[in-house]
Structure 1
Amino acid sequence: MSIPPGEPVSSEGAVAENDPGGLRVLFTDIGPEDQISLETLCPRSWRVHFQSDTQLDVGDGAAPLAQVLCVFVRTPVTRKLLQHMPAVRLVATRSAGVDHIDLAACRESGIAVVHVPDYGAATVAEHTFTLLLGLARHLCEARSRVLQGGFSYRGLTGFELQGKVLGIVGCGRIGAHVARIALGFGMKVLSFDPQSQPKAANSLSIDFVGWSELLERSDILSLHVPLTPETHHLLDDSAFARVKPGVVLLNTARGALIDEEALLRALDRGTVAAAGLDVLEHEGGAAPEAPMGCGGLGCDRGWGASHPLLRHPRVLATPHVGFNTREAVARILQKTVDNIAAWQAGQPLHRVA
């Protein structure tokens, strides 16, 4: 089905009436480089508007007229926000996860939701190992020592990955790629996944085990599941009480998979030897170049350089950059435009609501 240039559409691609303009698309959380790319990728018939902030400005004249709202994970799409955007018929997120979107509110309002389920398994998996290797060889402390003019290796003894047991929680595209890298390091890979043996992992040398066995046997635990009511605070005091003492924890998925107060207690006890975190439960809606703070997403605590988890000497934290490679970002933008175009044509792709 093709749509004549300049014609707006309904939620299922039918041409809307009494509107001479093109499809009105509002992009939020867009930096200058991404805006340049999107201006090239979007059809000329679309009426595109960009906001750089993560928190949508509903007072902007483009917001109440937008038919498509395109967001990233730091822009919460709430019922209240949608009430200020009566023309929206599609929410397109430039992410695999959709926990920042009120799906129930979208369904009730007849708003379709699409996502980008596979933009870079290699990208996120490689960042997972960036964190792991950084922890294994004390890279941050070593660099700091060198910058201060010290070249002593005392206190920087690391550990090998070869022979260690890596426990993967969620063995989908990303988890399976983490497993491939781990096998290359000579590690043994275990996985717990509610779907038992996902297709992506069928050909790999992975032992699928129960949740308790995974916690008890893993030297390193890596999280790769979506955030749902069932996985919220998956790692809490009860789970940390069952882990193998001295486990290393990695999270490049969603911050709220971990009860962070429980993680602090486990770190202080030594139950968790170290943690590599690319995501936090209360990341907020701060712009990428701004200090981490309470910018939204329910942030009500003092997240920032003073927070004890981020200051902990055995935590290596990065600001949700696991997705952020040139290749992955290019795929995200292209697939997002493709998703919007497919919805406009009445043949929606990657629809979750």
Structure 2
Amino acid sequence: MKIVYFYEEESEKALFQESLVGDEIVFLKGTVQDNQNYQDETAEAIVVFVNSQVTAEDMKRFPNLKFIATRSTGFDHIDLSEAKNRNITISNVPTYGENTVAEFSFALLLALARKIYPAYNRVVEKGSFSQEGLKGFDLSGKTIGIVGAGNIGKHSIAIANGFGMEVIAFDAYRNEEFAQNANFKYVEFDQLLSSADIISLHVPLNPHTRHLINKENISKIKKGAILINTSRGEVVETEAIVEALEKGILSGAGLDVLEEEGLMDDEISLIFQEHPNPESLKTVLANQYLIDHPQVIITPHIAFDTQEAINRIFNTSIENLKAFGKGNPINLVKN
């Protein structure tokens, strides 16, 4: 099988070559978009990460394409409808970083709760050990609202219990037995917004979750709450976060993901496009507001990024490719 692999680091090449002996692999550095001029009429499979958009136009560049392996749990970067029309099978990595992402969510939360970033900056930039303005708050006794009680959400619930927090959760599919055993209770979404001191998002991006938190429902959020988002940027309407911070509805936010985060590295070209998308431009400007806000911590989509999680991603991706090559695909994405 001929495979086109879009890679991030050189170390990936040796691992996949050693593991897929007998397959022909073409390695391309960067994303699908970074290699727009590359076409391959014989490639049967491509391997991508979430930073590669796989659109209908991209699929045309690979007319013999039969399989897409994404090195991620999420698959919103792939045009599922076009893949279905072309009879292309898609596999993902359903679980690899449930504890990894949950741990990072609490890293963001603790950094906000204990003002770690401004404290660090004060020491490094000013050489000052003054404690003025650095009083934080305990997690113990606070109510955390987990939005999405799937694999990552379940680990977040366990961590929250370890801190002595009151845990409530919203999920489209309730498991009351698990809730009883894991010491939390399910509530409706609006109740979670109004009751939680901390809101932590752990849902996939789909038509039902896009702008789940928006300008219409931010007024329902408990005043002074903190928002943590390690899921997808589009789950929250960016303008809603800005408005909530301006009005004091949110006292802070920890964001590992942003809407239009892919444009943040190239905002200049967006501004000078002949016909720039007004909504994209507005979102990029709102993102810059969040980056500059003293009560917001933003990280570059790294919640998944530990050595252990990456190893699990690679191993599962290799198994996905082997299984497809044998005619028994696994970890299928329904499209």
TM-score (norm 2): 0.91
1:267-306, CA deviations, whole angstroms, 9 ceiling, x for partnerless residues? Answer: 11110110000011111178xxxx575899x994374898
Q: For residue 62 of structure 2, what is the aligned residue in structure 1?
A: 85
Q: Equivalent of 2:120, from 143, 162, 182? A: 143
CA contact (8 A) 1:252 1:277 kept: yes
1:79-136, CA deviations, whole angstroms, 9 ceiling, x for partnerless residues? Answer: 1111121011001101101111110100000000110010111100010011000111
State the percentage of identical aligned residues: 38
Q: Equivalent of 1:233, from 196, 202, 211? A: 211
Letter in 2 for 1:313: P
SS at match of 2:212: coil
Inter-partner Cα distance in structure 1 for 2:201 and 2:24: 39
Which of the pair has the greater relative contact order for Cα pairs under 8 Å at 6+ separation?
1
Inter-partner Cα distance in structure 2 for 1:83 and 1:32: 27
Inter-partner Cα distance in structure 2 for 1:294 and 1:39: 38
SS at match of 1:241: helix
Q: For residue 324 of structure 1, what is the aligned residue in structure 2?
A: 305
SS at match of 2:69: strand
CA contact (8 A) 1:173 1:200 kept: no
CA contact (8 A) 2:179 2:186 kept: no
Cα separation, partners in 2 of 1:344 and 1:200, compared to 1, 3 Å:
farther
Q: For residue 307 of structure 1, what is the aligned residue in structure 2?
A: 288
Q: For residue 35 of structure 2, what is the aligned residue in structure 1?
A: 57
CA drift at 1:200: 6.5
Inter-partner Cα distance in structure 1 for 2:56 and 2:331: 22
Q: Does 1:334 align with 2:306?
A: no
SS at match of 1:162: coil
More helix by share: 2
Inter-partner Cα distance in structure 1 for 2:9 and 2:207: 32
Q: Does 1:73 align with 2:50?
A: yes
Inter-partner Cα distance in structure 1 for 2:221 and 2:259: 21
User: 1:28-39 residue pairs with structure 2 within 5 A?
Assistant: 28-39=6-17
SS at match of 2:68: strand
CA drift at 1:38: 2.4
RMSD of aligned Cα (Å): 2.2
Cα separation, partners in 2 of 1:188 and 1:37, compared to 1, 3 Å:
same
CA drift at 1:243: 0.7
My pick for the range that moved more, 51-60 or 321-330, is: 51-60
Inter-partner Cα distance in structure 2 for 1:76 and 1:349: 22
Q: Equivalent of 1:217, from 179, 184, 195? A: 195
Length, aligned pairs only: 324
CA drift at 1:340: 1.1
Inter-partner Cα distance in structure 1 for 2:80 and 2:41: 20
Q: Does 1:178 align with 2:156?
A: yes
- In structure 2, list runs of 5 or more residues that go unmatched: 271-276
Inter-partner Cα distance in structure 2 for 1:156 and 1:240: 27
Q: For residue 106 of structure 1, what is the aligned residue in structure 2?
A: 83
Q: Equivalent of 2:99, from 102, 116, 122? A: 122
- In structure 1, list runs of 5 or more residues that go unmatched: 1-22
Cα separation, partners in 2 of 1:101 and 1:184, compared to 1, 3 Å:
same
Q: Equivalent of 1:255, from 214, 229, 233? A: 233
CA drift at 1:40: 2.8
Cα separation, partners in 2 of 1:250 and 1:263, compared to 1, 3 Å:
same
CA contact (8 A) 2:48 2:69 kept: yes
CA drift at 1:53: 1.5
My pick for the range that moved more, 337-346 or 249-258, is: 337-346
Q: Equivalent of 1:131, from 97, 102, 108? A: 108
CA contact (8 A) 1:218 1:247 kept: yes
Letter in 1 for 2:307: R
Letter in 1 for 2:97: G
CA contact (8 A) 1:162 1:185 kept: yes
Cα separation, partners in 2 of 1:342 and 1:202, compared to 1, 3 Å:
farther
Q: For residue 154 of structure 1, what is the aligned residue in structure 2?
A: 132
1:130-173, CA deviations, whole angstroms, 9 ceiling, x for partnerless residues? Answer: 10001111111111100120100100111100000010000000
SS at match of 1:92: strand
Q: For residue 324 of structure 2, what is the aligned residue in structure 1?
A: 343
Cα separation, partners in 2 of 1:173 and 1:306, compared to 1, 3 Å:
closer
